[in-house]
Amino acid sequence: MSMPRPSWVLPLAFAVMVTPAGAQPADPSFRLTNRTARAIAEIYVASSGVNSWGTDRLGDKTLGSGANTTIRLPAGQCVNDVRVVFDNGEATERRRVNTCSQGDLVFP
């Protein structure tokens, strides 16, 4: 006489089969490059769908023309909105950027 299996056994077995051993969440960190003639004074990155930009990633620094900086994000936060504010106060945004698959983000 065989014992009935708990209902969670098959889904767990399937998850183990389709998840590669040692798989890590994707790294969403990216390099942001300023290819404009103006300095970037502020950089904000938020997970898409979040209604708050959070803190300025540059702090008290600026990102001059031709310069780049690396933006570090928590593992798995792949789809992000990015906002840059230039030294003259103008801003531009990129929405729903998959930073896990795009390691470089250039603002021309």
Looking up residue 63, the CATH number of its domain turns out to be 2.60.40.2890
In a domain? residue 15: no
In a domain? residue 6: no
Instruction: Give the model's pLDDT for residue 19.
Output: 45
Cβ count near 4 (within 10 Å): 6
In a domain? residue 86: yes
Domain span at residue 67 reads: 25-107
Is residue 22 within 8 Å of residue 15, measured between CB atoms? no
In a domain? residue 55: yes
Number of domains in the chain: 1
Residue 10 pLDDT > 50: no
Q: Any idea which of 13-22, 28-37, 65-74, 76-85 has the lowest mean pLDDT? A: 13-22
Place of tokens 């790294």: 27
Is residue 84 within 8 Å of residue 99, measured between CB atoms? no
DSSP 60: T
In a domain? residue 5: no
**Mean pLDDT of the 4-11 span:** 51
Q: Is 9 exposed, middle or buried (0-12, 13-18, 19+ CB in 10 A)?
A: exposed
Confidence category of residue 24, pLDDT binned at 50, 70, 90 = confident
